[in-house]
Amino acid sequence: MASSTFFFFFLQFAAAAASSNPNGYMHLRFYNHERILGSGPDATVVYAVERTSSTSGAGFGNVIVYDNLLRAGVEPDSPIIGRNQGMGVGSSLAENSGLTNFQLVFTAGKYNGSSLSLQGLFPVAPLGTVFERAITGGTGKFRLARGYLLTTEVHATNTTLTGQLDAYIAFR
């Protein structure tokens, strides 16, 4: 009898979890607004170490730090929902990628006070290229988060770069 009760409870739990999120992932979309290297005193990306000259910052051995705005939309005046704070290291001798380690810190809205921790490669690639990085943890409403982040650079000027961030989050 106890095993049939457990099985029934398990089925109810599994059905509730599946209906709340059929793919097992929470999906969030937001936009990273960056003032790129060399854009003057308003730059949100700067060299901590510039070992080799590189227009992308991905020169081998270079270290950059950044504190970019996270916005709800692609427009430069869309609501600010947080910050993308982290660092990147030029880790490719070919200077075509870098290793990033960063936090998405939410400062407004439903996830205010929570953050996501991420890491992975950032390729030097044409606008529109999709690349993936790992969600390795989180705080607040994202405690025990795991998943992945798909990034697509969607808009660029001489001084700005805007990326669409699609986070797919699961919880342990």
Give 109-166 pLDDT, tens digit per residue.
999 999 999 999 999 889 999 999 999 999 999 999 999 999 999 999 988 999 999 9
Largest CA distance in the chain: 72
Q: Cα separation of 35 and 22, whole Å?
A: 37
Kindly report whether the global pTM for this prediction surpasses the value 0.75: yes
Q: Cα separation of 46 and 49, whole Å?
A: 9
**Rounded-to-5 percentages of helix, strand, coil across the chain:** 15, 50, 35
